[in-house]
Amino acid sequence: MTLKISISGVRGTVPDSLTPEVCLDFAKAFGTYLVESPKYKVLNASPTIVIGTDPRATSEFIKGIVLSGILSTGCRIIDIGICPTPTVGIMVRHLKADGGIIITASHNPLPYNGLKFVREDGIFLNEKQALKLIDIYSSKKFFKGALGKLTSNTTAIDFHIKQILNIFKPSNARRKKTKVVIDAVNGAGSEAAVRLLEKYGCNIVAVNCDLSQPFPHPPEPIPENLTQLCQIVKEEKSDVGFAFDADADRLAIVSEKGEPIGEELTLALCTKYILDKYHTLSPKKKIVITNLSTTKAIDDIVRSQQGTVIRTKIGEVHVAEELLKMHGLIGGEGNGGVIFPQIGFNRDSLIGVAIILQLMKSSGKKISELAGEVPGYVMVKSKFDCPSQDETELFLERIKEKFKRKDLILTDGVKVMLPEGWVHVRASNTEPVIRVIAEAKTQAGARGLISQVLEPAG
């Protein structure tokens, strides 16, 4: 894979495209970006940066390089070690730091790794900010200051969990313990998930929760990667199964039947619970933010509570910024990413776990029953390689022309709204591919929509 530099950060294979030189220069660039911000030009002081990683073997190697680059710009560093990506965002705000870097390639398998950049409010850099960072990286004009200071903080995961428990309190009532199987893919959520579930008094079966081991299967929590989890949920007669990606910002759920319910339903179920929990709010405060590619079931759920759905471009930062701006109640993305502003402004699998457990306990229903109550749609996702920007733009123009008489949303790529459903075509932020996502009432209907897009114009 060639190096992918985008609004979602930097991602590539180690050491082929994500080289030591790239990591060093991006670290220097981020330090320079903060030092040269208007705030620090006035203060003439040193910014503070929080650093966290996922447990890939290359993450520690890259961290050493990143630390060197940041320290050379005079910035202070607080190293919080291996932790979920959302923990970094939470700690940036808690420690009143000026930014953060997460060393992770998220759901991508080995040998991928990457860098994600966080600003002082715990939200990822937006497009304008990311472009400024990339300009500094490309120019190689890095600030050179007195050597910065490195400290560590070992309380990050505990603080993250405490914040969740303050809002979603464990019940003291004597009830049958919820039996939970978790597959953390030996990723950053391995220890955090177990510790959170212990606080809820769950009977835990931990699978692939060893930080010292490599990923046992591809880390994206999609159905084809959850066969082991599904089998163990059935064997253990568990109430629910939870699957995480490598940096624990995405959550997938397996029902007590040992069946994946689909990542799209993670946000849908969490939204349902939060709207019920805050049902006394006025309709104008029941604002839910999600992106253009998330299931229409969200609209149906929110409409039933007289709330409002606002849809953004793809990219976590767009959802987070809109949540901040509109004082949204909950938001996220259909890839299993739940954002709950009272805790933080990043997709957070731990929040998702807490909300699902609360939903199961408050309703007294099985997770399969709760999933069955969500308005039924079928989503089909496809992608194909398109490494050239020119080819991508040409393909999107062809789609616009082909469907020019239909209802089009052009906020991000091309989303075609049709009576039988919708289909969204856009360039990926993280891979050199074009993504095609369709949703309809049936599998055949969704596949038909994708075929309409991919078949040559005639």
Catalytic residues: 106
Q: How many CA atoms lie within 13 A of 364 on its CB side?
A: 1
Burial-class residue 361 by CB neighbours within 10 Å (0-12, 13-18, 19+): middle
Q: What phi and psi, each to the nearest 5 degrees, are found at residue 89? A: -60, -45
Asked if 253 and 242 touch (Cβ cutoff 8 Å), the reply is yes
Give the separation between CA 331 and CA 107, rounded to whole angstroms: 20
- Cα 284 to chain centroid distance, Å, stands at 26
Structure tokens at 437: 């996502």
Alpha helices, H only, 278-382:
297-304, 316-326, 349-363, 367-373
Beta bridge partners of 440: 378, 421
∠ Cα 225 230 234 (to 5°): 170
Q: What phi and psi, each to the nearest 5 degrees, are found at residue 436? A: -125, 120
* Beta-sheet strand order (sheet of 99-103): 4-6, 9-13, 112-119, 99-103, 48-53, 76-82, 150-152
Asked if 106 and 59 touch (Cβ cutoff 8 Å), the reply is no
Count of CB atoms within 10 A of residue 407's CB?
11
Among the listed residues 81, 85, 51, 86, the one whose alpha carbon sits nearest the alpha carbon of residue 211: 81
Asked if 438 and 379 touch (Cβ cutoff 8 Å), the reply is yes
Which region holds residue 178: left if phi is over 0, alpha if psi is between -120 and 50, else beta? beta
Under DSSP, the state recorded for 66 is: H
Asked if 158 and 199 touch (Cβ cutoff 8 Å), the reply is no
Strand, helix or coil at 435?
strand
Burial-class residue 275 by CB neighbours within 10 Å (0-12, 13-18, 19+): buried
